[in-house]
Amino acid sequence: MKSRQAYRDPTAVAEKIHVPTYEEILERIRSRYPRRAKTLYDREVAALQRTHDIVISKTDFVKQLAALLDFLHPFYWRLIEIEFDRDRIHKAVKCISRGRKLASKLFEKYRFLLMAAENKRELVNTGREARGRILSLFKKCRRELDYLRDLVVFIQRLPAIDATLPTVIVAGAPSSGKSTLVGNATRAKPKVAVYPFTTTTIHIGHYTMPNGKIQVIDTPGLLDRPVDEMNEIERRAVAALKELNGIILFLVNVSPNAYMSVERQFDLLSNVRRIARGKPIYVALNKVDNPDPESLEEARKKAQVLLGEGVIEAVYETVAADKEKVSRLMESLAEELTSKAQRPG
Ligand SMILES: Nc1nc2c(ncn2[C@@H]2O[C@H](COP(=O)(O)OP(=O)(O)OP(=O)(O)O)[C@@H](O)[C@H]2O)c(=O)[nH]1
Ligand SMILES: [Mg+2]
């Protein structure tokens, strides 16, 4: 049950995970060092017990984190892998899990050795050795703890997608009007600006229909180039296009100052098709309130060809800046999503 929840909203799960630094663990142990005890033996046993208990409780997060990572949606993994190394994450989790196991073994072993100590000196040395060995297990994982802490903070800030909701992924070239459209279709307020590359990460809004909600995803602008040449920002758009289930709304900017020519925008559309692997694609020619007549004509022709080939599902003309027009477009897409959901297969 817990894991299912993690699958649906890892950001909320990550919110409850605290990854300590090695120094934090050490500090905690020092502050709890038993000063008073009836005998030296009692003191050493208590110190060992506390060291053990503190390292175990401070690293308890690793269980929740491992479960979270196990059930993480591929979309999140793809976003994580833009900034983190998956192998290194797993190695870090292992380092800490292994430390926990060995700490418990050492605890058992040294409890016995303390009992067997023959004099005060042996007692003190054995206790010191035991605590040193337990701590060194985690000192070895110091960098791994830091790595996992950065990861958890990163997951906390990821967009909270709901993989069960019908989804429209809005994609296109820089400045094609994606954020304007998402802002007018939903209550989300993605940043809109005249300059390209305004959106640098994924934003999510919700469009409300009488019978439910649609998740509308704003993505960063894409350039027409192979995925392995894309920068981090573009790869976030790729994560959504590849891994989220839904339909794609591809905006083509037909205004005079479009960032890319119509031809390049359609090349980009072919690239998006390859990335999105069979997801239905809807094209909207945007900014028809201020068109470059030649661009508009060219885009219409190209879109009709793709429609005829069955490569795209429909072509719309819209004005992302006009709330009413956006509502009409969203209604059409909502119908498409509903009929797609009902269609067998
Ligand atoms: N005339 C007109 N301008 C629009 C329309 N839609 C967006 N714009 C303008 O186009 C510019 C870019 O809009 P954004 O919504 O930021 O474009 P974007 O595709 O999200 O851009 P990136 O995030 O940089 O990829 C802004 O100045 C908008 O006001 C439209 O339908 N008509
Ligand atoms: Mg944007």
Q: Which domains does the chain have, with CATH numbers?
A: 2-156 (1.20.120.1190), 167-342 (3.40.50.300)
Which atom of ligand 1 is found nearest the CA of 322?
31
User: What is the pLDDT confidence band of residue 236, given thresholds at 50, 70 and 90?
Assistant: very high
Please list the alpha-helical segments (H only) found in 118-177.
120-139, 142-156
* Buried-state track 134-171, b at ≥16 Cβ within 10 A, e below 16: bbebbeebeebbebbbebbeebeebbebebebbbbbbb
Contacts of residue 102, Cβ cutoff 8 Å, sequence gap at least 6: 137
Mean pLDDT, residues 248-266: 97
**Residues within 5 A (CB) of ion ligand 2:** 178-179, 198-199
Whole-number Å distance, alpha carbon 203 to ligand 2 midpoint, is 9
Q: Is 60 exceeded by the pLDDT of residue 235?
A: yes
**pLDDT for position 341:** 66
10's tokens: 């890892």
pTM of the model: 0.90
Q: Is 90 exceeded by the pLDDT of residue 203?
A: yes
Any idea of the CA torsion for 18, 22, 25, 31, to the nearest 10 degrees?
-130
Which amino acid, one-letter code, is at 216?
V
Among residues 100, 81, 102, which one has the least CA distance to residue 90? 81
Residue located nearest, by CA, to atom 9 of ligand 1: 177
- Report the pocket of ligand 1 as residue ranges, CB < 6 Å: 172, 174-180, 192-194, 196-199, 220-221, 255, 286-287, 289-290, 319-321
In percent, how much of the chain has pLDDT > 90?
A: 89
User: What is the pLDDT confidence band of residue 216, given thresholds at 50, 70 and 90?
Assistant: very high
Q: Is 70 exceeded by the pLDDT of residue 8?
A: no
Give the angle 197-199-200 at the CA atoms, nearest 5°. Answer: 90
Among residues 126, 134, 128, which one has the least CA distance to residue 55? 134
Mean pLDDT, residues 156-163: 92
**pLDDT for position 211:** 81
Whole-number Å distance, alpha carbon 342 to ligand 1 midpoint, is 34
Q: Is 80 exceeded by the pLDDT of residue 240?
A: yes
Mean pLDDT across the chain: 94
**pLDDT for position 42:** 94
Q: Is 70 exceeded by the pLDDT of residue 6?
A: no
119's tokens: 């004099």
Per-residue pLDDT of 288-338, as tens digits, reads 999 999 999 999 999 999 999 999 999 999 999 999 999 999 999 999 998
Select from 175, 230, 327 the residue to mutate for testing ligand 1; criterion: most ligand atoms less than 8 Å from CB: 175
